[in-house]
Amino acid sequence: MKLYMLVAAPLLSAFALSTPTYASQNDESVIRQMEETWLQASMHHDRDTLQLLLDDSYREITPSGTARSKSDVLSAPPAPAGSMQTLQNVQVHVDGDRAVAVGENHFMAPNGQQAIFAFKDDFARHDGQWRVVGSWMSRK
């Protein structure tokens, strides 16, 4: 009986302390919604929303290999009027207070030219709020 308790107690405590599946699924939904909100804020040059989404430590690597900070993103010019972007094949992985989203950003310029960018976005939860802490994009 003592041996059973020595084995069972750690297992039971691990389950009791683990994050419920629904919490991870909810976090995944939050990250997906943040990706869409971020896309819309970028397209409409909504600096207030970008300010809320991006962590102060935010760093980005653009398709050209340029590193940008949060302030660089906030001061960047808006996307060309009439351009469109859509996210596709987005996959989200949540691990506690860290999450990663990977996918494709399909961009169409006003003149009809198209480009597809692969992306990886890193998220961190601080004080119960998710923030984007890093991004990487590459042209496909």
Residue 66: how many other CB atoms lie within 10 Å: 9
pLDDT digits (tens, 9 = 90+) for 91-107: 999 999 999 999 999 99
CB under 8 Å to 99, separation ≥6 — which residues? 27, 28, 31, 92, 93, 122, 123, 124, 125, 130
Q: For residues 132 and 74, is the Cβ–Cβ distance under 8 A?
A: no
Convert the pLDDT of each residue in 10-20 to its tens digit. Answer: 433 333 344 44
pLDDT tens-digit series, residues 79-138: 889 999 999 999 999 999 999 999 999 999 999 999 999 999 999 999 999 999 999 999
Phi, psi of 104, rounded to the nearest 5 degrees? -125, 140
Domain residue ranges in the chain:
18-139
CATH topology of domain 18-139: Nuclear Transport Factor 2; Chain: A, (3.10.450)
Amino acid, res. 6: L
